[in-house]
Structure 1
């Protein structure tokens, strides 16, 4: 009998992921912070729970949610930009505590390649992270919380920039001028491949591993975003002329590729 899967955070990635897991004949339990989305989850065959993580408390029936599942997918972004300075680590400490009370042992932690910071050259899963942003620092600390717990079978996925329906970084870059990193490579992944990777981990029981999730195609930013903006009829971003060779990072999904898997969805529109 298939394991029961819990998706904590049914947002832009979590919702389509949960729907696809249902289609693969798993029983799926999903959480949302919004009461309005409970019926939507239910309609998709997902058992809905309204749960909100804060740095001081978890609001909602977290133990009821955890008691139904065999695998927990933690898909909660830090959201530390702007005025929101609440601690993501404190949220994860509370969640970790609830997991320990419950006895759940299998966890997929959705992280980000931001943990590699400003490292240069080719980066794979064996490269020690060196975060420079607050978000990256809190993500790596949260990763370690679950990774270092010997009673958990934790797998970490570090996704690159996420693209998909109604989501693409070119929409934010299109009107900007004097951008200075035009020779740097892109490190992106399509929503479909995010789902593909997570399903592959579930189906093959790849526990206690780290995966980078970045499409192997790495065109430079100026060429790529010029093309993507043009296709969408958007103003093209303006990059300053720079003839120097980029020293930026190229993130390799070594673990996934070494296991014989391929990315299925192009980052080219």
Structure 2
């Protein structure tokens, strides 16, 4: 069924998602923070809008971007690694009232498995596992998840992605040649861009709302083995790891997602 879908955040994930939804016959609107990208969105059949969300407020045509849309995919990364002082909660508090008064009835909120702590025991993490009570980024993400989950104006599904990678972006590239990398024995938790897009499609098509999913490729090799092998395959300088310190990590379990959506991951590690 053709739907009207708004994607707030047409970046590395949001833009190809928008293009794939257009190909499926949906009517898609999308936001960008770059005025130069509006024409790029429009040329792909995506109705583009300039929207900028900050802790000070919201600028741009947000009402028009949300107008007449039933589904909202909210894909604004917190950016807390680059800017630890950022107030992601305030950003989303500025956006929320516009969503409440719009036609939106269903929200896919893109979150992260960073809401779970790493541990020396390498725990298997499901959606019911304890979340972090100490990390600032995790606390902010969880607060925003709650803002949308507890809102009666629409139904929200939280999608907690592991580390994102794709044809043009692989963490091994950034780790290549680095020395003294920590946690060599920690499990890798990654998910390919193609799977991210397919999972969002499936949630929308199957009308799966008011729930939380972990989303991570089911295989979990160790950081040392995986990134060394990828660098070897790409003929990149190998990373080296600090094996003197005890590794901390976790294994993200996507069993619920596979079971509820009937989903099979397309890209293996």
1:164 correspondence with 2:193: no
CA contact (8 A) 2:55 2:87 kept: yes
How many angstroms does 1:154 deviate by? 0.2
**1: CA distance between counterparts of 2:236 and 2:163?**
20
**2: CA distance between counterparts of 1:131 and 1:199?**
32
* TM-score when normalising by structure 1: 0.94
How many angstroms does 1:266 deviate by? 2.0
How many angstroms does 1:241 deviate by? 3.2
How many angstroms does 1:178 deviate by? 1.7
Q: RMSD over aligned Cα, in angstroms? A: 1.7
In structure 1, what is the equivalent of residue 19 of structure 2? 19
**2: CA distance between counterparts of 1:247 and 1:7?**
35
Listed one character per residue, the Cα deviations across residues 50-99 of structure 1 (whole Å, up to 9, x for unaligned) are 11101122111111111131100000001123456231110101111111
1:196 equivalent among 195, 198, 205:
198
- The correspondence of residues 1-269 of structure 1 with structure 2, limited to 5 A, is 1-83=1-83, 85-119=85-119, 120-130=122-132, 132-241=134-243, 248-259=249-260, 260-267=262-269
* TM-score when normalising by structure 2: 0.94
Q: Secondary structure at the match of 2:85?
A: coil
Greater alpha carbon shift after TM alignment, 116-125 vs 20-29: 116-125
**1: CA distance between counterparts of 2:23 and 2:169?**
23
CA contact (8 A) 2:215 2:254 kept: yes
Listed one character per residue, the Cα deviations across residues 177-231 of structure 1 (whole Å, up to 9, x for unaligned) are 1223111100000000000110010110001111111000100110100011112
**2: CA distance between counterparts of 1:122 and 1:109?**
23
CA contact (8 A) 1:33 1:51 kept: yes
Q: Cα distance 1:150–1:62, how it changes in 2: closer, same or farther (>3 A)? A: same
CA contact (8 A) 1:155 1:209 kept: yes
**2: CA distance between counterparts of 1:34 and 1:249?**
36
**1: CA distance between counterparts of 2:220 and 2:197?**
20
Q: Secondary structure at the match of 1:102?
A: coil
Unaligned segments of structure 2, at least 5 residues:
none
Runs of 4+ in structure 1 off by over 4 angstroms are none
CA contact (8 A) 2:118 2:250 kept: yes
**1: CA distance between counterparts of 2:84 and 2:59?**
18
**1: CA distance between counterparts of 2:164 and 2:20?**
18
CA contact (8 A) 2:183 2:245 kept: no
Unaligned segments of structure 1, at least 5 residues:
none
Greater alpha carbon shift after TM alignment, 250-259 vs 138-147: 250-259
**2: CA distance between counterparts of 1:188 and 1:9?**
21
**1: CA distance between counterparts of 2:141 and 2:229?**
32
CA contact (8 A) 1:182 1:242 kept: no
Q: Cα distance 1:203–1:83, how it changes in 2: closer, same or farther (>3 A)? A: closer
Q: What count of residue pairs does the alignment treat as equivalent?
A: 266
CA contact (8 A) 1:155 1:208 kept: yes
